[in-house]
Amino acid sequence: MARLDEIARVIRSKNAGPFCVTLDVLFGDEASYRRVVASGQITRDKMAALYQQPAAKVEVFHHPAALAMKVSIVRPVPAGSLDDADLYGAQQHVLLYPLEIA
């Protein structure tokens, strides 16, 4: 077993407009990408549970040619609103680091 942050080359998050945050997971080689995909740790249901959002507000995209995965999550409040705790969405990715990958 290894943590996702030990396998992925880049894990980041950012705004995808005022109503969505995107999480990017980029890999340095095909074997690492396939290992994470096969683990089933990054799915709509698992990301919804991790980020405490309804599954209908989460999308997971696979980009094999780019050796990348993207998770898009509808923000619970719009970016920049009074209740927003992370205007740029730049600190949302850290929840992915400890995911255990077989």
- Residue 100 in any domain: the answer is no
Residue found by looking up tokens 């959002």 in the block: 53
33 falls within a domain: yes
Q: Does 64 reside within a domain?
A: yes
Structural domain count of the chain: 1
What φ, ψ does residue 101 adopt, rounded to 5°? -115, 125
pTM: 0.92
85 belongs to a structural domain:
yes
Residues of the chain with pLDDT under 70: none
Cβ atoms < 10 Å from Cβ of 24 = 19
99 lies in some domain: no
Per-residue pLDDT at 81: 93
Strands (E), 1-102: 2-3, 10-15, 20-26, 58-63, 68-74, 100-101
pLDDT of residue 85: 87
Domain assignment of residue 19, given as a range: 2-93
Domain assignment present for residue 50? The answer is yes
**Predicted local confidence at residue 4, as pLDDT:** 98
